[in-house]
Structure 1
Amino acid sequence: MLDRLKDGESIIVAEGFLFEMERRGYIKSGSFVPEVVLDHPEVLRGLHEEFAHAGSDVVLAYTYYAHRHKMRMIEREDELEKMNREALRIAREVADKTGTLMAGNICNTTVYQNGNQEATAAAKAMFKEQIEWAVEGGADFIVGETFLEYGEAALALEAIKEYGKGLPAVIMVAANTTDKLVDGVGVAEACKKLEDAGAAIVGLNCFRGPGTIMDLLKEVRAVCKGPLAALPVPYRTTKEEPTFFAINVPGTEQRAFPLELQTCLCTREDIAKFAKEAKALGTQYVGLCCGNAPNYLRIVAEEFGKHPPASDYSPEMHKHFVFGSEKIITDHYTKTVKSLITGKA
């Protein structure tokens, strides 16, 4: 990974397993623990393969929220190690099969509390065991992500450096409705500190969509000199509703998160615009987070100049029997039928 970054290459990264598996009926909304790893490993393998087909350069082991606190919540703590090792095994096998990188994954612990030594120790202990399993599982690097507080992000980086056997660390924070994290540290300041502390890549993931993440990314780019990460959620966030927690179902006052977020999905043009802007900013580690799907990721890959296998099946609307322009398509469809089904001449 580091060699590719030094050569100026971009790395396309598929995330978003959590929401996609919930949509497919394999994990529960709310707890969002990756039970699919143990209960339906064949489904997880298939999703990894789909994302690689769509252009992902990384198979991220699905160990997000597969930590001790979450496993205790669903009363499956005794399967913690088994879940992590199985997720890593599947990811490593798919990465080897598709010629991609494989990353271990740690995330916000939901137990960390700034200034609370006991909570900090508990969080670090959870990081330690997941990092050590990732190393033993053959990870090429470790991703630490969706940190709401600088303190927890710094703790995750410290743990990766201490227990990761020299593996590079990608550290991403999650911005809320302001330009500061929960503990009051500015997003750009946090990323600069993390970069200075040894993170190979820093940036933002989750919470914000393409419409509200770019301004913060520009602030980070202004102070960080190394590779930048950008993985927004593919939802139509706005200045008034900057995170996917804040979005309402269009035309209502009903909160969309989490069960009605499909009403707020970005268009493909929204995703292409984000990818163009991210590329222009010099972003090298780029993808999409919660809500991602292979068709979205293919767009990101193509905007970054890649042609993954899925690009062989990119849209060719000029061949559509009503809306196309090919000479073989008759006027009966392009004129008569089109006016009838659209209500427009």
Structure 2
Amino acid sequence: MGKTGFLERLQNGGSIVVAEGYIFELERRGYLQAGSFVPEVVLEHPHLVRQLYEEFVHAGSDVVLALTYYAHREKLRVVGRENDLDAMNRAALKMAREVADENDCLMAGNICNSAVFIHSDENTFLPTENIFKEQIEIAVELEADFIVGETFSCFAEAALALKCIQKYGQGLPSVITLSASAGDVLLDGYDTVDACKKLEEAGATVVGLNCGRGPRTMLPLLEKIKQVCSIPIAALPVVYTTSSEEPHFFSLTIPDTKERAFPLDLCSRMCSRKEIEEFGTKANELGIQYVGLCCGNSSNMLRIVAEKYGRTPPASKYSPDMEKHYIYGDKTKFRKEFTEDLMAVKGGKF
């Protein structure tokens, strides 16, 4: 896609594939703490962050999203690392810019839910604005192509994030995504669909949903948003099998138990590749232009989405081909003695 800019890539129905989910993936690999979910790994093991940036690009991401999610002042305070805010954000953004430039990708700055904002308490508004301001200004300085504001459960916080991007982002495009609850109503009482429309009217470049819901429970809501919004829509579900009974990954339970799966046992509810394939197909048919995967994402899953959007990333070289498997493939391609022996062991059936 060369050095084509963010807005240009979305023109005439164009699409952008975006990898998210760094926090959960690095926790799974043993380099980030569940609970705080602060990306200390950026400073402690920067080579692993760069590697994951490169891995997601290899799998088909058009964007290197800087790992500054939860690298804001309030979350850093929880782990006693407020003094590392500047260094952590700069390191994440610098690496993202380098990897993006090396691969002709876009680089995005990232702000998120503040863990401070309370919609009924105006005293929390200014501290939240300051949190956004710090990260946006560093992203601008490190030459982000656009700013993502994500995982907002309140319309008012999402609107404030957009206002801050417009105020401090020096004209950079904005992607604002909401995290819809088990119902379609946000914590401050706004209908999620109406909230997306209001964000469009307030000047967001892209609006939509991320996190919280898996493909099955996000797609119906996206259809409603698509009906009322005229700007590009974003869809980045978690990679967990939600349902009408358990529509949000907070509500998922471990199979055969009533125990909550979030956050340590979400692995018991991972989406199948088939589910991700169906999501990619349906999102493309729906006209979702900004698409990806959030928590639970992995490179092989993102590759599926990229391929459903017509991409052939380098990782496609390793897409499954079960015709090459001695059990599932054409038996004439394998040694006759081996397949006959295997047939006998399996009772003549594979």
1:12 lines up with 2:17 in the alignment: yes
User: SS of 2:111's equivalent?
Assistant: strand
1:91 aligns with 2:111: no
Q: Once the 2 structures are TM-superposed, how far is the Cα of residue 342 of structure 1 from its aligned partner?
A: 9.2
Letter paired with 2:7: L
- The 1-side partners of 2:61 and 2:256 are apart by 35
1:259 Cα offset (Å)? 1.1
Identify the residue that residue 296 of structure 2 maps to in structure 1: 291
Structure 2 residue aligned with 1:203: 208
Partner Cα distance (2:137, 2:305) in 1: 32
Aligned partner of 2:32 among 24, 27, 36: 27
Residue in structure 1 matched with residue 243 of structure 2 by the alignment: 238
Which one of the candidate residues 259, 262, 275 is aligned to 1:257?
Answer: 262
Within the candidate set 138, 143, 160, 1:138 is matched to 143
Q: State which of 156, 173, 179 in structure 2 corresponds to 1:174.
A: 179
1:316 matches 2:321: yes
1:225-253 deviations in Å (ceiling 9; x for gaps): 11010000010001000011111111111
Cα 1:240–1:75 change in 2 (3 A) is same
Q: What is the TM-score with the length of structure 2 in the denominator? A: 0.96
Structure 2 CA distance, aligned partners of 1:200 and 1:225? Answer: 10
Alignment of 1:18-97 (within 5 A): 18-97=23-102
Task: Tell me which amino acid in the other structure corresponds to 2:230.
Answer: K
- d(CA) in 2 for partners of 1:43, 1:233: 22
SS in 1 for 2:13: coil
1:249 aligned counterpart, secondary structure: coil
Q: After alignment, is 324-333 or 213-222 more displaced?
A: 324-333
TM-aligned CA distance change 1:199 to 1:339, over 3 Å? farther
Name the aligned partner's letter for residue 98 of structure 1: N
Deviations 1:42-91 (A, max 9, x none): 00000000000000000000000000000000001011111001110010
Partner letter of residue 58 of structure 1? V
- With over 3 angstroms needed to count, the CA separation of the structure-2 counterparts of 1:343 and 1:165, relative to structure 1, is farther
> How far, CA to CA, are the matches of 1:16 and 1:175 in structure 2?
17
Change (3 A) 1:268 1:341: farther
Larger CA deviation: 335-344 vs 35-44: 335-344
Secondary structure in 1 matching 2:185: coil
- SS at the partner of 1:7? helix
User: How far apart are residue 4 of structure 1 and its match?
Assistant: 1.1
Are residues 1:218 and 2:229 paired?
A: no
Say whether the 8 Å CA contact 1:124–1:156 is kept in structure 2.
Answer: yes
Q: 1:212 to 1:341 in 2, by over 3 A?
A: farther
In structure 2, the gaps of 5 or more residues are 1-5
Partner AA of 1:315 in structure 2: P
Q: Give % identity.
A: 55
Letter in 2 for 1:51: F
What's the secondary structure of 2:151's corresponding residue? strand
Distance in 2 between residues matched to 1:204 and 1:296, nearest whole Å: 18
Q: State how far apart, in whole Å, the 1-side matches of 2:188 and 2:168 are.
A: 25
The worse-fitting range, judged by mean Cα deviation, of 5-14 and 148-157 is 5-14
Maintained 8 Å contact 1:146/1:174: yes
Deviation, 1:343, is: 9.5
> For residues 256 and 340 of structure 1, what CA distance do their matches in structure 2 show?
39
1:65 & 1:155 partners in 2: Cα distance? 17
